[in-house]
Every structure is written in structure tokens, then in C-alpha cells.
Chains A and B, each alone.
Chain A
Amino acid sequence: MSRHFVSIEGLSKVYPSKEQDLVVFEGANIGIDKGEFVCIIGHSGCGKSTILNVMAGLETPTTGTMIMDNKEASGPSLDRGVVFQNYSLLPWLTALQNVSFGVRARWPKWNKAKVDAHSSHFLEMVGLSGALHRKPSELSGGMCQRVSIARAFATSPKLLLLDEPFGALDALTRGVIQDELLKIWSETQQTVFMITHDVDEAILLADRVLLMTNGPHARVAESVRINIPRPRNRANIIEDPAYYKIRNYLVNFLVKRSGQLSGSAGQVGGATQEVDPSVEINPKNEQSAALKAAI
């Protein structure tokens, strides 16, 4: 197996309790290449946030390690930026101050002018140049999430972790910010790991989509390649011949197979299956063909 930029091996998280320990997920192996955009999908409560928090260093894994850029990653670090679902902006700071909070932490030696210039540049990239001096309470949910995204991108982390960043937004706002995220991602060449529960969002954004089975004992069962050329946007993506194949495959997994595969701890081939629905008509019979195509 080739070494990935980020490689997670044998990761599991158990919450001990008096009656029965809760094994949230186990045996998670995830590889992410530099510059790749990876989404992870799974039912609510299967442990997506827990995986992300472990990757962020906010929680310690029960077993397993995470290697990033040839170094073991443990504990929180500026190398791994996080965008939380509830924005987590500091309400007493303005939009600009929230972003420069991160920038100053990243480059403590920069002077104020440089910090401000850098921070406003990233706020501009998410279309907020008109709201630099407003506090979060004076911004809409969508604008708050843009500030949060700008804060994370502005610190140029090696890996960006997003936990359902658009979960709380209405569909229209979500679409606009998805486009902005794609733009800022292609400009910065960031490596991104993102949780979503929205299949269309995952197809629009990701190079690969990881599928998690239901918890407890959740596993990262499959890695689905999104073989749709970039640049993508919401209008043209549905015209791609692969779009519905991929979409049906993902929906089928969420509706049927995530439940069927769940709880089967120690199953043969615990390794993540690589799948490319765009070259495959019937996922059940031709998985080996898909495997070959993926290699």
C-alpha cells in the first residue's frame, strides 16, 4: 500500500461505561492524499464526529494511529484546522477579529497590518468583505459559517476538517457556500476531510466518499471514487453520465447496506473496499471489476 499524506490505521474509539462499553467505531483505515477532498457519509450517531474529533486531536483514540506528513499526529495542532457545525465563532469579536485570531495564533511574529490584510483577504474569498467589522450576532447563520471557513483556510492547515459545516443552513445558502468552498479549495490546494449527510453535497465536492456502516461497531466500509471531471458546479454536474450511477450507489448504501453491514465486527476483508460506480453497472456482482478499475 502506498503511503498517503494522511494515513489512519486501525483506529477505534470505545467509550467505557459500567454496563457495556460503547464501541463507537473500530478498525478504521483511512488514507488521504495531498490536495484530496474526501467526504464521509453515514447515518446520524454512527461516529463521524468522533472520528473527526480524533483526527483533530480533541479526543484520543482507543486504538490506532494517525500519521500526517510522515509524523504522528496526536493532540490538537494548527496543522489541522477545524470547522464545526455550529460555527464556534467567538461572539465578542468581529468577523475580521475572529479570522485574525487564528492567523495570529498561526504566525505570532506577523505585525497587525499583515495579520489584518491576510485575514481580510480570506474573508473576501468567501464574499464577506462588506461585513468585516460585524459581530457574529449581527450575521446570518450562513455568514457565520463563511467566517468560520475563512478562519480555517486562513491558517493554511495541512489538513482541514469540516464537521457537517452546512447542516444548519437552508438549501439556497448551502448551495452558495458550497460553490465558495469549491472555489477557495481549488485556489488553496487544501487537503480536506468533511462530514456530510447530504449525498448530493458529497458528489459535488468530493474526490472520494467514505461510507460508514451504522453504529455501534461502525466501520469505514467503502471508499467510493467520484469520477466526475472538475471544475464542477451544481448545474452541470447532473448532466454527467456518472452522476446518477454514483448517486444511486450512495443512496442504496445509506438506505440498505449500511444497516446490513453494521455490527459485523471482525468481518472478512475488514479493509475498506474501493469502488467506482461510474464504470460499474451492478455493484453487487461486479465489485472485483470495480476494484480493478480503481487500481
Chain B
Amino acid sequence: MASLNMKATLLSLLLLLVGLGIWEAMNQVPAASTGLSEYERMMGGADQEARVPPPSQVFSHAWDELSDPFYDAGPNDKGIGIQLAYSLYRVLTGYLAAALIAIPLGFVIGMSPLMHKALNPFIQVLRPISPLAWMPLALFIIRDSEGSAIFVIFICSIWPMLINTAFGVANVRTDWIKVARTHELSPLKTAFLVILPAAAPTILTGMRISIGIAWLVIVAAEMLVGGTGIGYYVWNEWNNLDLNSVIFSILMIGIVGMLLDMTLAAVTKLVQYED
């Protein structure tokens, strides 16, 4: 086992070095590489600054940014930490609001075949709607870009949680329900002591899918509403033709997304049980 992990780590490092090496080599001299010169033409006669920067430049830029992540020099110049904090705030607010509604509602749907049948058509129609399609309506009704972005996160993260909760609750083993019944547990106690722990791994899986989707959607939403946030930051740096910052923020989006997923994975592990 240990040797497999060792080999995998070595291979990962090797791939990283090779990848970075190729990237670095291809981008040393501007317009030296055909593939990139075409890209530069597309960018409309970009100057030397506009070529895809090599990793050495990106990393030195990343170092500068990360050494002062929370500086604030006006609306168009804020540190990466501040931008990420805005995005995280929106994601977590919308996501938690969605959880507060999806989990209890999922319980109801999972426990009551009537509610399942009655609500299913709505869920089936609303679920496939791209969250960004709600944006105009949200902006019109909420009249606030911040609130609209949070609403879009809310609406995109609600479905996996709702569906997984309902599924997990509906499929709790009848044996365990029988145990609750023979112990004269009240419906509320049955829900908290038996159904919730039994369905928790399924619910957490839904929550993990949701946080992933929410983090995907926030970047697009912030590109639309502007102002602050990592999505706005990427777009803004693109407009500034600062590709160092664009690449750096893409990496940061990936890293934060991975951390969010790892957090939910750790919580899932806590409630996982072996049957």
C-alpha cells in the first residue's frame, strides 16, 4: 500500500514537472510557437504582455499576490483573499439556505408517498433549469446583485440535497423502522434517532454534490453581476489583459473548490457506517 502511494506521488510529481516544463519552454519567446501566435492574432495584435505567461512568471506573481492577499486599493483592485472571501460568503449563504429547506423538505417527501407524488412534477421541471437562467428574474425581483447571486447559488444547490435526502429517507431499512416502532419511539424521535443517522451518508453525498455545483456556478454568476468575487476578478483581469492574474485565479478557484469538497468528504466520513 505504502509503496503504491509512493509510486503515485512520484508519478504525479513527474507529470507536473513535465507539464510545467513544456509550458515554460513553449512560452519563452513571444510568437515563437505557432499554436500561440494564432491565439495572439485572435486577441487582436496583442503586445508582448498578452502572450500566455510561462509558469515561472505565474508563480512569481502568485507569490506576490499570496504574500498580501487582503489588500484593498479601490473597487477594481482588491487582493485575491478578499475576492475569494466574497465568493465563499455568497456560496455558503446560498448553500446553507438551500440546506435548511432541502433537508426538512426531503424528509417530508421521503416519508410521505403522497407528498412525493404531489411535488415530483415541480422538481422534475425546475431541476433541469440552468441556474443562470434565473439571473434576470432574480435581478428584477430582488433588485440587488448580491442577493441575486446568492439566490442563484440557492437554486442550484437545492436539488441534489433535496433528491438525495428524499431518496435516503425513503430507503431506510424497514428493520430499523421496526426497531423504532417496537421501542415506542415518537415520530420525532424516530426521525432523529433512526432515520436521520440511517440516511445521513446519502444526505451528505447530496450536500457534497451541491457544494461542487455551487462553486462552479458562482464564478459564472459573478462574471454576470460584477463588482466583487473571484468570478468578477477573473473577468476583470481578462479585460486588463493580465494573464498572470487570470491563470493564478483559475488555480485558486480549483484549490478552493477542492478544499470545499474535502471538507464535505470529511464530514461524510464521520456519518458513514458499515452495514
A interface residue numbers (CB < 8 A to B): 56-58, 76-78, 80-82, 84, 86, 88, 90-92, 101-102, 105-106, 135, 137, 155
Residue pair A105, B183 in contact (C-beta under 8 Å): yes
Partner of A76, one of B175, B182, B193, B273: B182
Residue pair B275, A101 in contact (C-beta under 8 Å): no
Number of B interface residues at 8 Å Cβ cutoff, please give it: 18
Closest Cβ neighbor of A161 among chain B residues: B182
Instruction: For the complex formed, measure the closest distance between the CB of B199 and the CB atoms of chain A, giving whole angstroms.
Output: 11
- Within residues 151 to 194 of chain B, which ones have a CB less than 8 A from any CB in chain A? 175-176, 178-179, 181-185, 193-194
Residue pair B273, A135 in contact (C-beta under 8 Å): yes
Residue pair B176, A58 in contact (C-beta under 8 Å): no
Q: Which B residues touch A84, using CB under 8 A?
A: 175, 178
Tell whether A78 pairs with B275 under 8 Å between CB atoms, given A86-B175, A90-B197: no
* Contact count A vs B, C-beta below 8 Å: 52
Tell whether A88 pairs with B197 under 8 Å between CB atoms, given A78-B183, A82-B182, A137-B274: no
Residue pair B182, A135 in contact (C-beta under 8 Å): no
Sampled A-B contacts (30; CB under 8 Å): A56-B182, A57-B181, A58-B181, A76-B181, A77-B182, A77-B184, A78-B182, A78-B183, A80-B182, A82-B178, A82-B182, A84-B175, A86-B175, A88-B175, A88-B176, A88-B179, A90-B194, A90-B197, A91-B273, A91-B275, A92-B198, A92-B200, A92-B273, A102-B183, A105-B183, A105-B184, A105-B185, A135-B274, A137-B274, A137-B275
Bound Cα distance A92, B194 (Å): 10
Instruction: For the complex formed, measure the closest distance between the CB of B205 and the CB atoms of chain A, giving whole angstroms.
Output: 16
B interface residue numbers (CB < 8 A to A): 175-176, 178-179, 181-185, 193-194, 197-198, 200, 271, 273-275
Given contacts A76-B184, A78-B183, A135-B273, 13 further A-B contacts (CB under 8 A): A56-B182, A57-B182, A81-B182, A88-B176, A88-B179, A90-B179, A90-B194, A91-B274, A92-B197, A92-B273, A105-B184, A105-B185, A155-B183
Nearest 10 A/B pairs, CB to CB: A137-B274, A92-B273, A105-B183, A88-B175, A76-B181, A91-B273, A92-B197, A76-B182, A82-B182, A91-B275
Residue pair B273, A137 in contact (C-beta under 8 Å): yes
Instruction: For the complex formed, measure the closest distance between the CB of A133 and the CB atoms of chain B, giving whole angstroms.
Output: 15
Q: Which B residues touch A101, using CB under 8 A?
A: 179, 183, 193
Q: Which B residues touch A105, using CB under 8 A?
A: 183-185
